[in-house]
Structure 1
Amino acid sequence: MAPVQQGELDPVIHAAARLKITATLATIPPGDKISFPRLQELLDMTPGNLSTHLRKLEDAEYVEVEKTHQGRTPVTYISLSKAGRRAFEDYTDALKQLLGGTA
């Protein structure tokens, strides 16, 4: 994927659902993660819709998906990668510029 130029809105993040996902994950401290069901609950998204958008973000290396087990139960954890956090910061800066604020 080509890098986004300064002042441009990242099309991977710009889709409404992916923006909500990224903004939510950005509130979690670096190194922490959230379970898939909790993220789904916070965003009020269907499992399929959330999975589809997470895959796009994962393909762009903006999120990290960790699949593990608690006992015999599969659990999926999601976190914002370092690149994803940077991309979200760049996105918000570009949005501020677009809206006439200072970045």
Structure 2
Amino acid sequence: MLKELDPLLHNSQLRLGIMSILVVAKQAEFSFICKQTNASDGNLSIQLKKLKEAGYIEIIKGYKGNFPLTTCKITQVGIEKFGLYIEALKSYINFGNN
């Protein structure tokens, strides 16, 4: 049986990329995520906000010296939702092989 794919992750390559980075790194600076995903600052901000509102990530605002610093951290909910998404994808990949 095919499982439902989480639309928050499946419908956005950028949100999936953000979560892929954070599931490995646990947390990352905004600039790092921006560079790795090749996203514009504005688009990345919008997608981070959506992930935060869903409880998948935390956004920590601070300073590094005199410069603003935004750090993103995956939550336990985010880890669980990402795992469920991977399991759902496997149901598509393995369809008919069970």
The answer to whether TM tops 0.5 is yes
Pick aligned residue for 1:56 from 46, 50, 53: 50
Matches within 5 A, 1:74-89: 74-89=68-83
Number of equivalences: 94
- In the other structure, the counterpart of 2:21 is 24
TM-score, with length taken from structure 2: 0.88
**Residue type of the alignment partner of 2:7:** P
Aligned-residue CA RMSD (Å): 1.7
More helix by percentage: 2
Deviation of 1:71 after TM superposition, in Å, equals 2.6
Deviation of 1:72 after TM superposition, in Å, equals 2.2
TM-score, with length taken from structure 1: 0.84
Matches within 5 A, 1:1-103: 7-14=3-10, 15-29=12-26, 33-100=27-94
Unaligned 5+ segments in structure 1 are 1-5
Question: Within 2, Cα distance between the matches of 1:28 and 1:85?
Answer: 12
**Residue type of the alignment partner of 1:91:** Y
Deviation of 1:21 after TM superposition, in Å, equals 1.0
* Over 6 Å off, 4+ runs: none
Identity %: 32
SS at match of 1:93: helix
